Chains A and B, each alone.
Chain A
């Protein structure tokens, strides 16, 4: 079983990276690997509560993050400073990731067989 990780570091909607990154995570869940998900920088904004796409029609994919556990993806982390510097707390998020500190991020990357950044 390979350790694989997807790092979300871009905001949603302005660009498609976090949406297509999420599609990648869902596929990875089907491969029975040791998958982690990490939110850093603007990536934390992709799991903010209260998104309303009724005025634009752009697909709201934030509910899909809540389904990650159903895809056997349970290792979900968020960088504390990225979250706090954007004025967010855990209760503002659609899921409840485990909080980690910035100095743990590189080590987490090093531990993977490979990882993606979206």
Chain B
């Protein structure tokens, strides 16, 4: 399963809600405001380090650039829209 997260973890429960149901090994794509979860050095970074140990976590490069986020924390893979489509080819998607 590919879980799509588009909300800031500082404002929304959507990532935590998704994690209650997502089985380990599932993919999570952070896009739109979701990418703030992957920004290094934040109040959620420690939590996210645990998430990246259990899930395949991706961040959408175009939305990072738009927001001036030039890098993501270790364990998160940057992908572009072609990569987003590639993930959808592999799995059904849930939009949280």
Contact = CB atoms under 8 A, between A and B. Distances in A.
6 contacts: A40-B17, A79-B21, A103-B21, A103-B23, A107-B23, A115-B94
A40 B94 contact: no
Contacts of B21: 40, 79, 102-103, 105-106
Interface residues of A, number: 17
B26 A106 contact: yes
Interface of A: 7, 9, 40-41, 79, 81, 102-103, 105-107, 109-110, 112, 114-115, 117
A64 to B, nearest CB: 24
B47 interface: no
B33 to A, nearest CB: 17
Nearest first, the 4 closest Cβ-Cβ pairs linking A and B are A105-B21, A102-B20, A41-B17, A106-B21
Interface string B9-45: 0000100010011110010000000000000000000
A103 B24 CA distance: 10
B29 to A, nearest CB: 15
Interface centre among B17, B20, B21, B95 (most CB of A within 10 A): B21
A106 B96 contact: no
B92 A112 contact: yes
Contacts of B22: 106
A114 B95 CA distance: 12
Contact of A117 (B1, B13, B26, B96): B96
A40 B96 CA distance: 11
